[in-house]
Structure 1
Amino acid sequence: MTTNNAEHTRISSWRLLLRNPVTAVSAAVLVVVAVVAVSASWLAPYGINDVDVPNALQSPSGSHWFGTDELGRDILSRVLVAVQASMRIAVVSVVFAVVVGVTIGVVAGYRGGWLDTVLMRVVDVMFAFPVLLLALAVIAILGPGATTTILAIGIVYTPIFARVARASTLGVRTEPYVSASRAMGSGDLYILRRHVLPNISGPLIVQTSLSLAFAILSEAALSFLGLGIQPPEPSLGRMIFDSQGFVTMAWWMAVFPGAAIFLIVLAFNMFGDGLRDVLDPKQRTTVEARRQER
Structure 2
Amino acid sequence: MRVSNWRLLLGNPVALVSAILLLAIMVAALGAPWLAPSGVNDVDVPNALQAPGGAHWFGTDELGRDIASRVLVATRASLEVAVVSVAFALVVGVGVGLLAGYRGGWADTVLMRCVDVMFAFPVLLLALAIVAVLGPGLTTTVLAIGVVYTPIFARVARASTLGVRVEPYVAVSRSMGSPHRYILARHILPNIAGPLIVQTSLSLAFAILSEAALSFLGLGLQPPQPCLGRMIFDSQGFVTLAWWVAVFPGAAIFVIVLAFNLLGDGLRDVLDPKQRTSTEAGRGS
Structure 2 CA distance, aligned partners of 1:168 and 1:280? 12
The equivalent of 1:155 in structure 2 is 147
Structure 2 CA distance, aligned partners of 1:269 and 1:186? 39
Q: Deviations over 1:196-218 (max 9, x none)?
A: 00000000000000000000000
Unaligned runs of 5+ in 2: none
Q: Does 1:264 align with 2:268?
A: no
Q: Deviations over 1:172-229 (max 9, x none)?
A: 0110000000111100000000000000000000000000000000000000000000
Q: Give secondary structure in 2 for the equivalent of 1:229.
A: coil
Structure 2 CA distance, aligned partners of 1:48 and 1:57? 15
**1:71 to partner: Cα distance:** 0.5
The equivalent of 1:178 in structure 2 is 170
Structure 2 CA distance, aligned partners of 1:178 and 1:244? 58
**1:36 to partner: Cα distance:** 2.0
Match of 1:90 among 60, 78, 82: 82
> For the Cα contact (< 8 Å) 1:37–1:88, is it kept in 2?
no
Q: Does 1:108 align with 2:100?
A: yes
Q: Does 1:198 align with 2:190?
A: yes
Match of 1:255 among 247, 252, 266: 247
Q: TM-score when scaled to structure 1? A: 0.96
Segments ≥4 residues shifted beyond 4 Å: none
Give the letter for the 2:95 counterpart: T
Percent of residue pairs identical: 78
Q: What pairs with 1:209-220 in structure 2 (closer than 5 Å)?
A: 209-220=201-212
Give the letter for the 1:177 counterpart: Y
**1:232 to partner: Cα distance:** 0.6
Structure 2 CA distance, aligned partners of 1:156 and 1:194? 29
> For the Cα contact (< 8 Å) 1:139–1:148, is it kept in 2?
yes
Give the letter for the 2:76 counterpart: Q
Give the letter for the 1:158 counterpart: T
**1:37 to partner: Cα distance:** 2.5
Q: Give secondary structure in 1 for the equivalent of 2:70.
A: helix
Q: What value does the CA root-mean-square deviation take over the aligned residues?
A: 0.7
Match of 1:286 among 271, 278, 284: 278
Structure 1 CA distance, aligned partners of 2:63 and 2:117? 45
Q: Does 1:35 align with 2:49?
A: no
**1:18 to partner: Cα distance:** 1.6
Give the letter for the 2:129 counterpart: A
The equivalent of 2:9 in structure 1 is 17
Q: Deviations over 1:218-251 (max 9, x none)?
A: 0000000000000011000000000000001110
Give the letter for the 2:147 counterpart: I
Match of 2:238 among 235, 246, 270: 246
Structure 1 CA distance, aligned partners of 2:28 and 2:196? 26
